[in-house]
Amino acid sequence: MLAYTDQAKSSVQLLSEFMAKGSEAHGRKLTFSGVGDRDVYNICAPFFDRGEPVIAGRVEHRDNESSEVMFFVERRGEWVPRNGAPVFALQDPFVAFIGDELVFGGVEVYFDGDDPHYVTSWCTVFYRGGSIDELVPFAKGPLTMKDIRLIGLGNGRIGVFTRPMMVDGARALIGYAEIGKLEELNEDTINEATLLRAQFLPDEWGGANEAHLLDGGLIGVLGHIAWMEDNNIRHYYPMVFAFNPADCRYTPIKLIATRGLFPEGPAKRPDLVDVIFSGGLIRNGDGTASLYTGVSDAEAHVIDIPDPFLEYERQAKR
């Protein structure tokens, strides 16, 4: 039987628990080319489009946040831009399949008119279509809200995970709402989401990055949890939890990777060295899963780990 929670744990406590268990996993860097001297990071997991695996990735120069999202395909061990694929002026891409339709999204960033390096606000935008070549915009989230994610449910409805900031004394909380069709995705339905109040301590934050439909109607949530120490040094950890949409209860967060499991490499800034951003997860069907991540806001990596959602499915059957 699943053990639900009503009390948040700190990132430091979660890290201590993860380190105590140990891990023999080792991440590996993905090679991207065809983008000049720009970095590719905060990728999604590969998804099939027109019969071949495709990765969407955030592409930008090391010294600014003026980003593009591009679609990449693998050629001779390297990921290269897909010929003729659209390019979006977005950050942090994500995908979901609702029925037979592809839903793609990212973060639209607004810069100061006098200072192109100063971000004034942002919002999550959504596109839909039969393939990446047919994507058309259909929805936007509220200003300053990232990490809005969708999942098709077994009853035909659509689950929506949200991430409002600065609410009830907390830096950020995850929320959950349901809609009957994509046309109902709007700021009102997003703002009315039920809040998961026992996920983060008030001075920490996180969000959902991807949702998986599990056996028994549960939702497995891949996300991140973060905290900030002195001098604005950020720490981001990939995490998971199980969510029951029938009663909005959820299990405690557990970490699934840390920066130390990935090869050493550059960082966009010194305060971003310990940042692992969950992009997406492929369940391999053999007890393992492949986690695709952004690393230190400069690179894209993948790591093979034990499937973190199997435990929830086993517990739900007991």
Instruction: Name residues of the chain where pLDDT drops below 50.
Output: none
Q: List, in sequence order, every residue forming a beta bridge with 40; answer none if it has no partner.
A: 59
Rg (CA), the chain: 18
Nearest to 49 by CA among 81, 71, 75: 71
Residue 223 belongs to a domain: yes
Residue 291 belongs to a domain: yes
- 292, with CB counted inside 10 A (0-12, 13-18, 19+), is buried
CA distances from 260 to 116, 154, 301 (A): 34, 37, 13
CA distances from 110 to 69, 107, 113, 280 (A): 15, 10, 9, 25
Residue 163 belongs to a domain: yes
Instruction: Identify the CATH number of the domain in which residue 101 sits.
Output: 2.115.10.20
Q: Parallel, antiparallel, or unpaired for β 233-244 and 274-283?
A: parallel
pLDDT of residue 141: 98
Nearest to 149 by CA among 195, 187, 105, 191: 105
| Structural domain containing residue 98 | 11-317
Residue 3 belongs to a domain: no
Degrees, nearest 5: CA angle 100-292-255: 110
Max Cα separation, the chain?
Answer: 60
Alpha-carbon distance 260 to 206, whole Å? 20
Residue 268 belongs to a domain: yes
User: How many Cα neighbours within 13 Å face the side chain of 118?
Assistant: 5
Residue 116 belongs to a domain: yes
Residue 281 belongs to a domain: yes
Place of tokens 């970490």: 255
For residue 136, what are the contacts with CB-CB under 8 A and spacing of at least 6?
127, 128, 129
Alpha-carbon distance 163 to 174, whole Å? 5
**128-157 per-position pLDDT tens digit:** 999 999 999 999 999 999 999 999 999 999
Alpha-carbon distance 98 to 80, whole Å? 27
For residue 230, what are the contacts with CB-CB under 8 A and spacing of at least 6?
none
pLDDT of residue 218: 97
Alpha-carbon distance 100 to 77, whole Å? 29
> What total of structural domains would you count in the chain?
1
SS3 (DSSP) at 212: strand
pLDDT of residue 114: 75
Residue 4 belongs to a domain: no
Tell me the residue ranges of DSSP E strands in 112-232.
119-129, 136-140, 149-152, 158-162, 165-167, 170-172, 174-179, 194-196, 205-213, 219-229
DSSP assigned state of 131 = S
Alpha-carbon distance 61 to 38, whole Å? 5
